[in-house]
Amino acid sequence: MQQDLKNIVVTGLAAISAAGVGVEPLVAAVRTGNSCLSAVPETVAGGERQKWGRAEQFRAADFMPPLKARKFDRCSLFAVVAAGQALASAGLAKGALPPERIGITIGAGFCGIANSEEFLSGYFRMGVDGLSPMLFPNTVANAAASNASIEHGLQGPNVTAVQRFCSAESALQLACRFLEEGRADVMVTGGVDELTPRMLQGFRALRQDRNLAAGFGEGCGMLVLENREHAESRGATILGEVTTINSIGRLVAGRETEAVRLLLPASAPARIGLSGTADLWPALEAALPDVARLNLTPITGRSLAMGGLAMAALVATLESGDTALHLAASPEGPYYAIAFHGGAPA
C-alpha cells in the first residue's frame, strides 16, 4: 500500500538509547560509527559472551522525584521523559495548545515485561494474595503511551502499536492518519522498548540469542508531527517532512524481488536508514542504491521498537532539502519504506 502524504512535517525529536540521553549523543555515535553496546555482566544468566544496548546513562531521578518514578515501569519512564523532550524540542509547552488536539502513538515491543514478571511471580509464590494491584497497570503494552499522555496532558488520539520489529513505523503511520483526518493538530509518535536480564534467558531458550536477539537494545525515539500550516502558524522550526509511506503486510515466498520493487522509490534518496531486520533481507540489500546508510543495530542494538530511534536519528542527520528513505522489516512482515525530506522547504 502506498500512502502519499501532504504537508506533514517533523518539528521535534527526542532519543534515549545506549548512546545516552538526547538526540545529540545518538547523532554523535552515528557519525563516528562507534558501538555503544556493552558486555552483558557475567552474573546475568543467558548473556554469556553477549553484548547488549542498555541505556545505562538514563537516570529517572534526573527528571522526576524518586517517589514519582516508582509508579512507572521502565518503558513508561523512557516514554514520559522522551515525550517531554520531544515536545520541548518542538517548542510546545504544556497548556500551549488545547490538550484534545495533541495525541500520541507509540510502537511497543516488550513494554511492561519487568512488571509482568514481578506481578506473576507474586501469584506463583502466594496465589491471589501475592498479586500487587500497584504493579498491574504497568503490565500492559499501552502503559507507556498512557503514562506519557497523563504526564504531559495529551488528550487527543492515544494508540499503541505492537507489530514486532515494525512497531514504531506502524505508530507513525497511525499518527499521520490522525493528522490527515483532522483528529489532531500535533502527534507525538515513535517507539519504546526495554531490556531485562530475564529476556536474555528467554532469547537463549528460544535459540535466538545468536541471531535476531544478539546485541539487543532498549530505549525510546520520539518525533513530533504536525501539519505544515499549523507548524508555520506558531513559528515552529521544521526539521523535516514525511512524504510517502509504502507498506506490505506479508511477503509471499518467491516474490521477494517484487516486494522490494514495490517498496523502493523510482529515484534514489541521499540517505537510507535500516531498522528492524531490514539489514538481514538479501533481496533488499541487492536492490539498494550506493548511498549513505544509517543502521543502528551495531551502534545501539536491535529491538522491536527501534524504528523510533532510527527515524529520529535519520531526520536529525539530514541536511535541508536532502531526501531519505527509512526501511523497516520483520521476518514475517510487515515491511515499511517511509520517505523523509530534510529541512523546511515545501
Higher per-residue confidence, 247 vs 125: 247
* CA angle (111, 11, 103) in 5-degree steps: 45
Do 269 and 318 lie in one domain? The reply is yes
The count of domains in the chain is 2
Find the CATH number of the domain harbouring 219.
3.40.47.10
Is residue 307 a part of any domain in this protein?
Answer: yes
pLDDT number for residue 77: 96
Do 268 and 129 lie in one domain? The reply is no
Contacts for 127 with CB less than 8 Å, ≥ 6 apart: none
Do 96 and 180 lie in one domain? The reply is yes
pLDDT number for residue 60: 95
Note whether 104 and 158 are within 8 A (CB).
yes
Per-residue pLDDT, averaged over 188-193, amounts to 97
pLDDT for residue 212 is more than 90: no
Percent of the chain with pLDDT over 70: 99
Do 71 and 203 lie in one domain? The reply is yes
pLDDT number for residue 135: 75
- Average pLDDT over the chain, rounded to whole? 92
Q: Can you tell me whether residue 117 is helix, strand or coil?
A: helix
pLDDT for residue 228 is more than 60: yes
Do 137 and 245 lie in one domain? The reply is no
Is residue 33 a part of any domain in this protein?
Answer: yes
Per-residue pLDDT, averaged over 342-346, amounts to 71
pTM above threshold 0.85: yes
User: Could you say which of 233, 260, 280 is where a domain stops?
Assistant: 233
Contacts for 195 with CB less than 8 Å, ≥ 6 apart: 52, 53, 54, 110, 216, 217, 218, 301, 303
Q: Is 176 left (phi over 0), alpha (psi -120 to 50) or beta?
A: alpha
Q: Nearest CA to 301 among 202, 223, 191, 141?
A: 191
Q: Kindly state the cell numbers that stand for 139.
A: 503490565
CA distances from 329 to 138, 151, 200, 208, 294 (A): 28, 32, 22, 17, 15
Contacts for 202 with CB less than 8 Å, ≥ 6 apart: 46
Do 191 and 268 lie in one domain? The reply is no
Render pLDDT for 95-123 as a digit per residue (tens, 0 to 9).
Answer: 889 999 999 999 998 888 887 777 777 77
Do 170 and 192 lie in one domain? The reply is yes
pLDDT number for residue 343: 82
In angstroms, the CA 56 to CA 190 distance is: 20
Do 229 and 108 lie in one domain? The reply is yes
Q: Can you tell me whether residue 261 is helix, strand or coil?
A: helix
Note whether 99 and 154 are within 8 A (CB).
yes
Range of the domain at 287: 240-342
Is residue 1 a part of any domain in this protein?
Answer: no
Do 252 and 298 lie in one domain? The reply is yes
Render pLDDT for 321-332 as a digit per residue (tens, 0 to 9).
Answer: 999 999 999 988
Do 247 and 222 lie in one domain? The reply is no
pLDDT number for residue 216: 93
pLDDT number for residue 307: 96
pLDDT for residue 201 is more than 80: yes
pLDDT number for residue 111: 81
Is residue 207 a part of any domain in this protein?
Answer: yes
pLDDT number for residue 97: 93
Do 114 and 179 lie in one domain? The reply is yes
User: Could you say which of 208, 233, 258 is where a domain stops?
Assistant: 233
pLDDT number for residue 42: 86
Band the pLDDT of 3: cuts 50, 70, 90: confident
Q: Is 60 left (phi over 0), alpha (psi -120 to 50) or beta?
A: alpha
Is residue 117 a part of any domain in this protein?
Answer: yes
In angstroms, the CA 326 to CA 290 distance is: 15
Is residue 3 a part of any domain in this protein?
Answer: no
Band the pLDDT of 266: cuts 50, 70, 90: confident
Do 58 and 172 lie in one domain? The reply is yes
User: Could you say which of 233, 266, 300 is where a domain stops?
Assistant: 233
Contacts for 11 with CB less than 8 Å, ≥ 6 apart: 89, 90, 91, 224, 225, 226, 231, 236, 237, 238, 239
Higher per-residue confidence, 335 vs 49: 335
Band the pLDDT of 344: cuts 50, 70, 90: low
Render pLDDT for 33-60 as a digit per residue (tens, 0 to 9).
Answer: 999 999 999 888 877 888 999 999 999 9
Q: Can you tell me whether residue 60 is helix, strand or coil?
A: helix
Note whether 259 and 334 are within 8 A (CB).
no
